[in-house]
Chains A and B, each alone.
Chain A
Amino acid sequence: MNVELKNIHKTFGKVHANVGINLAIPAGTIQGLLGENGAGKSTLMKILSGFIRADQGEIILDGHPVVIHSPADAIRHGVGMLHQDPLDIPPLRVIDNFILGREGGLLPGQVEAGRDFKRLAEQFSFSLDPEAYVDSLTVGERQQLEILRLIWLGARVLIFDEPTTGISASQKEKLFAALRLLAEQGKTVLFVSHKLEDVEGLCHRVAVLRSGVLVGEAKPPYITRQLVEMMFGKAISVGERNPTGAGEVTLSLRNLTVEDYRLKIQAVSLELHGGEVIGLAGMEGSGQGLFLRAVSGLVRAVDGQIDLSGHDLTGRNYQAFKKRGVAFLPAARLEEGLIPGLTLTEHVILAEEPEGFFINWEKGRQLAQSRITDFNVKGTPASTVESLSGGNQQRALLALLRAPLNLLLLEHPTRGLDIESTIYIWSKLKERCQQGTSILFMSSDLEEILHYSDRVLVFFSGRVTPPLKAASLTTEKLGELIGGSGWTELASGKGA
């Protein structure tokens, strides 16, 4: 089926997520969609798959303009989407998930569906047991199930959102074979990914989005440098950098291995100096978040050692880390960092070591006011935190930190903030560095990583580069590494 997206606009509040996107995809094509986090890819795909409606613009399928009201409506039009975390129902069986959603009578028609399932599975060489429970399947197998289901429902356009995150190499091969087969059958495949190698190896064409705009398209043979440039923009002069970090070794990691149900980060070794800033780069879901939480004591590492200024913190819990001057600032400001319903004064009092039994409210208010002034928070001691803007919430989070700190761990410190807030927050962070605090932060913003870090670690599918000097990196090179390219060169001695 031919797909055409005409002049798609979508705004969320102040953010213009899709700016006049025009994209035409002929049937039988595997169309790659590249872009960093926040580029607008997921918004565009949500519009096409019926989750949200565009503010302006048209969707044209096989020459007919259509209006898609909901995901179920989308599949009726033949558009199906496979999410990064497949939207299946884990406690049910494979065959149940397959059947569910198909219109039909009272009886589920399991026998007939089973036959269709077998037929389709054979077609794609998927070996799935219809009786198995979905929560026992791997991500790759869950994807396979979704593909079969969408095909069975008559999808002629299939959208794949970051499908190769968290699947094994052999499953990836199977997936790619299936995608090629689908294209041969005349279906249209949209392959959304940040992994350059995958996109280059699979797609017939590539479109690149940046900041909501379609900045360019490309056809094979692909030039990686060109794609990276389109994704991340030209290499900009990083401007004045304030290198810090010549202090003593504060944090020492030896062979740290962390795992969760999707990822395994293996044997990371690192020595962090006082006042140093290390940036963790990589796309969402590549492991930086997990790594940060392990270094903060929130998640227990499976192997390896963590040493902070001579104190062995391996296996200890968060409270122990906190006592040794480690602080963790989560990205979800209101969900994990602040307490909606409580005022700034209350937060300040909570964050400090309690003095005595009774709260000295006057003292607390004064302290809150001085923090507010210090950090330029637009609010009063009596303001509840949910009434603050994102930027001010982040400032508040920083304002709550105790001084001095040994190690500060930040999950996306400037996500969603404007330039002014970003610069201000970093100036505050650098102040801490002057005092000897080491900082580990993760960010999707390459400029931020290059500008503020002394050294950088790049994460890709759970693999971690050795620490690279930020001064020796360009946005291009960084972009490449984030996309999974250039790692072998690193291993053979380049970098650090």
Chain B
Amino acid sequence: MKKNLWTNIGFQVGALVLALLIATLILVAVGAPPFKTYASIISGAFGSTNNIEEVLITWSPLLLTTAGVLITFSAGLWNIGVEGQMTLGAIFTTWILRLLQGSSVPPALIIVLGILAGMIGGALWASLAGALKTFGGVNEIFGGLGLNFVSTALTIYLVFGPWKRPGVGSMSGTQPFDQALWLPTLPKTELSLWALGISVLVIAVVYILLRGTHIGLRLKAVGKNPKAAFLMGVPTWQYSMFAFLLCGAFAGLSGAIQVTSVYHRLLPNISNGYGFLGLLVAMLINYQAIWAAPIAFFFAALNIGSVQLQIIYKLDSSFAGVFQDLLVLLVLIGEGARQRFLRKG
């Protein structure tokens, strides 16, 4: 057991070191000073209260999508459709907010209903992918992909069609909502403690669910060996659908938060890659929910920290993505190498 643990750690650390090495090489190749770049990223993320707030604002939606896909991964599913589920959440929230704004319903209640609607929207969209898989045998990767595209088209249709701004529709989205319908933020910032609180709550719920409940254990069983789980009496298709619904709800919640606390309107590409990034985080933490918060935070920091690279070093902010992708790729390859190493050693 001990040897296994050290080999594990060894390969993980090795992957990190290798990622840093390759990233440094890439920086050198484009003519950027590597250490200054790293320093710049760190200061870009933590250098000022404003920066830290930005990181926290990015952290919430990412944590939510990660929490969601941890559930579907647990059930053995590749829920690529999570991007679309987040988008549908945003759409449903916008719909309710538009429906109820200007009515006599108290604004706080409207916001709550909007968020709930977002969760329902995401769950509904996920249930489509789930039904296709469970009853139609359609692989959830392709079902999800197709539905992602449909959700994007739906957003564009709404933004340029029925929900367009007075005058002409534009890529900047629908008419922003009245401030009364904004999720309360800290004074002078965009950061909403509500958003933060909700996302931390959700990941805690997911952690407890997966580790300490019967539902979580059954999900795990279905994910690892559906045949055996079935023989033991677990209704496999029901748990599969449940996983889709729950992940969809969390992804929808993420979209709802983007609408109510960050953008205050619906705009195209509101999911902004948070779905896919959540999948990456989940893969990197080897599906152990306890690491979700810190690693998602790390990824959020990388994203924000890299924004100013553009200004300072004329480097594209996609460097954050490059590093994140490298890390996950090397961890995956490292896992394969480790297994071969253990088999032969």
How many angstroms from the CA of A491 to the CA of B214 in the assembled complex? 53
Pairwise interchain contact A336-B213, C-beta atoms closer than 8 A? no
The verdict on A346 contacting B230 (CB below 8 Å), with A339-B224, A341-B224, A361-B212 known, is no
A-B CB pair tally, cutoff 8 Å: 56
Tell me whether A337 is interfacial, beta carbon within 8 Å: yes
A210 to chain B, nearest CB (A): 34
Tell me whether A30 is interfacial, beta carbon within 8 Å: no
How many angstroms from the CA of A338 to the CA of B228 in the assembled complex? 6
Query: Within 8 Å CB of B265, what residues of A?
Result: none
Query: Within 8 Å CB of B225, what residues of A?
Result: 335-336, 338-340
Query: Within 8 Å CB of B235, what residues of A?
Result: 319
Pairwise interchain contact B217-A400, C-beta atoms closer than 8 A? no
How many angstroms from the CA of A400 to the CA of B232 in the assembled complex? 9
> Interface residue count for B (Cβ, 8 Å)?
19
Which of chain B's residues has its CB closest to A357's CB? B213
Tell me whether B264 is interfacial, beta carbon within 8 Å: no
How many angstroms from the CA of A374 to the CA of B233 in the assembled complex? 23
A317-361 contacts to B, CB under 8 A, are: 318-319, 322, 328, 330, 335-342, 346, 349-351, 354, 356-359, 361
A407 to chain B, nearest CB (A): 15
Identify whether the interface residues of B are mostly helix, strand, loop, or mixed.
Answer: helix
Pairwise interchain contact A359-B214, C-beta atoms closer than 8 A? yes
Partner of B234, one of A338, A350, A356: A350
Pairwise interchain contact B232-A351, C-beta atoms closer than 8 A? yes
Query: Within 8 Å CB of B227, what residues of A?
Result: 335-336
Of listed B224, B227, B232, B235, residue having the most chain A CB within 10 A: B232
Tell me whether B133 is interfacial, beta carbon within 8 Å: no
Tell me whether B229 is interfacial, beta carbon within 8 Å: yes
Tell me whether B105 is interfacial, beta carbon within 8 Å: no
Pairwise interchain contact B233-A358, C-beta atoms closer than 8 A? no
Query: Within 8 Å CB of A337, what residues of B?
Result: 228, 231
Which of chain A's residues has its CB closest to B214's CB? A354
Pairwise interchain contact A350-B231, C-beta atoms closer than 8 A? no
Pairwise interchain contact A350-B218, C-beta atoms closer than 8 A? yes
Query: Within 8 Å CB of B229, what residues of A?
Result: 339, 350
Query: Within 8 Å CB of B232, what residues of A?
Result: 350-351, 400
How many angstroms from the CA of A341 to the CA of B228 in the assembled complex? 12
Query: Within 8 Å CB of B228, what residues of A?
Result: 335-339
Pairwise interchain contact A322-B214, C-beta atoms closer than 8 A? no
A394 to chain B, nearest CB (A): 14
Pairwise interchain contact B221-A342, C-beta atoms closer than 8 A? yes
Which of chain A's residues has its CB closest to B220's CB? A342
Not counting A350-B229, A350-B234, A358-B214, a sample of 12 additional A-B residue pairs whose C-beta atoms are within 8 angstroms of each other reads A318-B230, A318-B231, A319-B233, A322-B233, A336-B228, A336-B231, A338-B225, A339-B221, A339-B224, A358-B213, A359-B217, A361-B212
Provide a sorted-by-A list of 25 A–B residue pairs whose CB atoms are within 8 angstroms: A319-B233, A319-B235, A330-B231, A335-B227, A335-B228, A336-B227, A337-B231, A338-B225, A338-B228, A339-B221, A339-B224, A339-B229, A342-B221, A342-B224, A346-B217, A346-B220, A350-B218, A350-B232, A356-B214, A357-B213, A357-B215, A358-B212, A359-B214, A361-B212, A400-B232
